[in-house]
């Protein structure tokens, strides 16, 4: 594991997120595994990418989406440091290549 986080469920530390180190398979594809374990949620998955960094970022996006769809979150029981209004993970919708953001980033990103 390269990263872990524990979220509270009803104020108690009961939902654990773990991210594995991205690995390259023999065919050259990269994958990053993750696990979410909570009172009502048990997910083990992985996400692929063109390289280790992309696989890691996409796995983090997947974790956020899985958490937002978890029973604990939908029931309003999931929190981080007592805050229920955010998961403190990057939002995939804010990705610069997301169709809703391409024009925004084009207008506001500094020239390279």
CATH number at residue 41: 3.30.160
**Sign of CA pseudo-dihedral 56, 57, 61, 62:** negative
Q: Output phi, psi for 39, to 5 deg.
A: -60, -35
Digit-by-digit pLDDT tens for the chain (112 residues) are: 999 999 999 999 999 999 999 999 999 999 999 999 999 999 999 999 999 999 999 999 999 999 999 999 999 999 999 998 889 998 877 665 555 444 544 454 444 4
Q: What one-character DSSP code corresponds to residue 11?
A: T
The domain of 9 spans 3-108
Q: In whole angstroms, what is the distance from residue 87 CA to residue 81 CA?
A: 10
Single pTM value for the model: 0.82
pLDDT at 110: 47
The number of domains in the chain is 1
pLDDT at 109: 47
Tokens 């990418």 belong to 49
pLDDT at 97: 58
């Amino acid at each position: 594991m390269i990263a872990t986080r524990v979220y509270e469920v009803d104020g108690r530390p009961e939902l654990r997120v773990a991210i594995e180190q991205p690995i390259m398979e023999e065919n050259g594809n990269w994958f990053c595994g993750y696990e979410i374990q909570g009172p009502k949620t048990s997910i083990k998955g992985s996400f692929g990418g063109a390289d280790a960094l992309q696989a890691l970022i996409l796995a983090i996006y997947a974790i956020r989406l899985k958490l937002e769809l978890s029973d604990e979150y939908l029931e309003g029981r999931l929190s981080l440091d007592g805050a229920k209004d955010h998961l403190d993970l990057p939002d995939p919708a804010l990705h610069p290549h997301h169709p809703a953001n391409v024009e925004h980033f084009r207008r506001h990103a500094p020239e390279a």
